[in-house]
Structures are given as structure tokens and as C-alpha cells.
Amino acid sequence: MGWNRNIYRSLIIISFIGIIILMLFGISQTLSYLNTGADRSSMLHLALQKEQVYLPKVKWEDTINPGRPMEKQTLLEIEQDYLNAWYIRNVAYQTNKTQGIDDYYTESARKHLAKSIGYNKKKNIAIHSTTTTHNIALDFYSADGQLAVITDTNVKEYKRVYHSKEMLLETHLKSDYQIMLLLEDGFWRIRHIVKEKKYNISDSIAKRNGIVKVIDGKIFIEDKEYQIKGINYYPQKTPWDMFGDKFDIDVIAKDFDIITNAGLNTIRIFVPYEGFGKAEVKTEKLEKLREVLDVAETKSLKVIVTLFDFYGDYSVLDWTLTHRHAEQIVSAFTDHNAILAWDIKNEPNLDFDTRGKEKVLAWLKEMIHQIKQFDPNHLVTIGWSDTKSASLLQNEVDIISFHYYLDINTFSEAYTMMNTKIKKPIVLQEFGLSSNRGFWSPFGPSEKEQANYYKQFQQIIRQQNIHYVSWTLYDFEEVPSTVVGKLPWRKHKQKHFGFIDRDGNKKQAFEYINK
């Protein structure tokens, strides 16, 4: 009897605990549901808060308010919410969806946006746009801290208009805006935005008479003509990860001695976009790059710095992030004597099919403009993968760079044809032959055939006085799959382009590294 009573009591207690747990779970779910509408974590703007996704150049021209003084924190909040509003609007016009606009536009402003987006969606129109610079002045800040009026002048805008995925229009604009913002529920929301003026874009480039320049189709450094005789460089133990955890400046310095003793005067190195921190460039990476440039200068080597390695987005919404990335790197070395040129991107034409040719070219053109603003002292180029693409954007760059891995017997004809179309210095920025005979390539070139290839190529280079940068100093033990894929025969080939083998011995080709 007592035993049954204990079981009964236990069941009551367990049931009571179960009911309490269910009630607490129900309450938590209810609170979660009720908070969903106001919780930033469930909305588009969470990404804007956690990670900067829109970073145009912003300059406050005037923050003095004759009435109530503007608090610094409030100024920062207005700037951030204002930029977020631009980003949200750009996303909305590109996707024809209104997600997120509630947080950055008041009810009346949302109606205008929704109407415009609805029309575009009905007509199958999409607008890809971004702004790159804002010059903001504070016109009014109310005594109660709930209303602000700002003027944004010389706003640089870029737009591509598509109809059924076909581009109808590409344009650069410069406009003035007056904006009224209201503080609602912790957000500075746009109440009115009025475009006051629109100008034809005519940006001036900083005067380019610095350390390196091009005169009459020739490269000059400090008024002396410069002939590029170079090599693409990675340390042997850390290919495609030169600035990683195993960075060793002593090893790099010894390699630079090998390069200069071989009679070469230029190296080409690569800066990975993500590895350097994307829009927030890592200080330690910049310092490593500075060490490399400093050592290069002591060894009398000039450096072509290839930016945006492994970058492949190009979307308009991503432009401002790449601008900040370039600004932080390029501005840090605008006066460095070791730099010969900034190479915007390695083989961007290979992305034409997957990303869209017009999208890639638009990004490149704008990036050229940005870098020339950041650094008037050095040259700008693009590392095209072939001769056919080399003439693209030739009016924007300072020197033309191309790569050549086709049959050496067709080179002279291809180079001559390209040279007739281009009136700027032309750089053979990559060329080479892999001595990849082995298990994965039993009929591949031998080291002797590699040497004969360079002997023949150097004869052509001397005859036509070609600037050149060969690929590459070392054979490598490992090649990342991100470079050539996972297929072993492709990796094997990439491992054996060097003039020095994996044991540190000079291959036969080394005799023709510079003659």
C-alpha cells in the first residue's frame, strides 16, 4: 500500500515538473515570436550591423549646427543609418524586393520606393547601382534630437540598368541631394530625399609625374629608361601563401639575392584579397608587405604588386568594400621606391564567362580610377591571360600586361599583331614551360626541353626588346587546389615551372633566365 502511494506521489511530482517545463517553453516561444518583428537579428540590417557591407568614401564637410550641438555618437549613428539606407535601396532596386526598407525609410518614403520597385518588377527591369563618395553637411538638428537635415553633394554614383537580364544602360553620375531624417524606434530613417542637381561625371586624376612614369611609350624611373627583366615570385615553401603564418623575411631576402645575381631587376608578387582582410586590411599583413618591399629596395629590385588575388565577385554592391581594401594598401605605399606598378587583378578575363564581361570590365575600370587617386607615383596595369584581351581598357592603364603559355612558334606573330594596336609599353608578364615529365605526364617536357624553350624565348625577347616577367623561380612541393583544381596531373604540371628544383638545384633552364 505504501509502495503504491510513493509511486502515486512520484507521478504527481513528475507531472507537475513537466507542466512547468511546457509552460516555460511556451512562454519563451511566445516572447520569441513577439520579438521577431523588432529583433534586428532576424532582419536584413543585422548583416549591416555585424559586418560592414557598404563602405563608400564619406567626408563630413560641416557638422556645426546653430541650434542644438550634434553629439559625436549621434553623428556616427546618422552616418551609418544613412549609408545603410543607400545600401538597402540599392539592394531593393537590384532584386526588386523591399526587404529591409522598413528600418531605414519612414512610411511615406517607403510608399514611393515600393511603387517604383513594383513598376520595375512588372516591367522586368533591374537596376544595379552603388555610390562611391559622399560629401555630407549638417543643415539642421532639432532641439529634441528627433530630426536632422543633411546635404550630400557630389555623390558619385554608378548604375547599370537591365531589362530581362540584357543591359540597356551603363552610366556614371555625380549628384547633389538634400535629405530629411527622423529618429524612430532607434533608427534614423529617411523621410525625404530630393535630388537637387545632377552633373556629368568628369573626375580628375591626380597629376601623375611621380616615381615611375611612361613617356613616348617607354617606362622611366627617375628620368632613366627602365627595361623590365623580371620573374614572378613565391617563396618555395609557401607558394600562394607568401604572407601567411610561415612568412620568413630572411628566406625572401636570400631569394632576392638569387634573383639579382641572375641579372634580373623586377619581381611580381601577389596580395590575396581575403588573406589580407578584405575591407578591413590586417595591420600585420601590411607590415609583412612593407618588409618585402623594403628588402626589395635594398636589393635594387622593382616590384609589380598584383592586388585582389583570388577575388571574383565584381558585383556593384561589393564595389565599396574593394575600394577600401585597395585604399588601405595602396595609400600605405604611395611613396615607396621599390614599387614599379600596381597590377589590379591577375587574369580577370577568365571570369568573363562566369561573372559577365561587362561586370568585370566595369569593376576594373573603376578600380583603376580609384588606385590612381590613391597613388599618383606608380604605374597601373592589368594581368590579362592572353594577347586577345590585352587591348581592353588600354586607355585607362599605364602599361599593358599579358600572359603567354601557347606554342612558342606562334608568339612572334601574336605579339606583332598586338603591338600594332597598342601604343603603350607592353609587358610579357607571365610565360614559361613546365618540366613535368613523370608518372602523371610521361610525355611531358623534360628539363632539357624547358631549357631550350627559354633559350628560344630569350632570343625573341632580345630581338623585339620586350619587357618580360617569367614564371617562376622555384619548383613547388605543394600547389593548392584553389589554384589549378584537384586533378593530380594538373597539380603536377604546376609544380615544375621553376628555374630551381625542389632540392634547391638550378635546372638547365636557369642558364637562360636572363639571356
Model confidence over 488-498: pLDDT tens digits?
888 999 999 99
Long-range contacts of 197-202 (CB under 8 A, 24+ apart): 198/173, 198/174, 199/154, 199/173, 199/174, 199/175, 200/174, 201/156, 201/172, 201/173, 201/174
pLDDT above 90: residue 21:
no
Which residues, in sequence order, are CB contacts of 339 under 8 Å at separation 6+?
211, 212, 293, 302, 303, 305, 333, 377, 378
Query: What average pLDDT does this structure show over 148-167?
Result: 95
The pLDDT assigned to 489 comes to 87
Residue extents of the structural domains in the chain:
53-200, 212-512
**Residues 275, 285 contacting (CB under 8 angstroms):** yes
Q: Which CA distances in Å does 237 have to 89, 149, 303, 503, 506? A: 47, 57, 20, 11, 16
Asked if residue 30 has a cis previous peptide bond (ω within 30° of 0), the answer is: no
Q: What is the CB-side half-sphere exposure of residue 301 using CA atoms within 13 A? A: 31
pLDDT above 80: residue 11:
no
pLDDT above 90: residue 256:
yes
Give the lowest-confidence range in 39-53, 166-180, 394-408, 431-445.
39-53
Q: How confident is the model at residue 464 (pLDDT cuts 50, 70, 90)?
A: very high
Query: What average pLDDT does this structure show over 264-275?
Result: 98
Q: Is 50 left (phi over 0), alpha (psi -120 to 50) or beta?
A: alpha
Q: Which CATH class is domain 53-200?
A: alpha beta
- Enter the DSSP assignment of 101: G
From 307, 299, 312, select the one nearest 268 (Cα to Cα). 307
pLDDT above 80: residue 12:
no
Q: What is the pLDDT of residues 341-386, one digit of tens each?
A: 999 999 999 999 999 999 999 999 999 999 999 999 999 999 999 9
| DSSP line for 391-454 | TTTTTTSSSEEEEE-S-GGGHHHHHHHHHHH--S-EEEEEE------BTTBTTS--HHHHHHHH
* Residue 190 to residue 147: CA distance in whole angstroms: 10
Sheet with 147-163, side-by-side order of all strands? 57-62, 125-141, 147-163, 166-184, 187-200
Q: What are phi and psi of 267, to 5 degrees?
A: -125, 155
Count the Cβ atoms, other than its own, within 10 Å of residue 412. 12
Q: Does domain 212-512 have CATH number 3.40.1550.10?
A: no
The pLDDT assigned to 165 comes to 87
**Residues 176, 154 contacting (CB under 8 angstroms):** yes
- Burial code (b: 16+ CB inside 10 Å, e: under 16) for 188-206 equals bbbbebeeeeeeeeeeeee
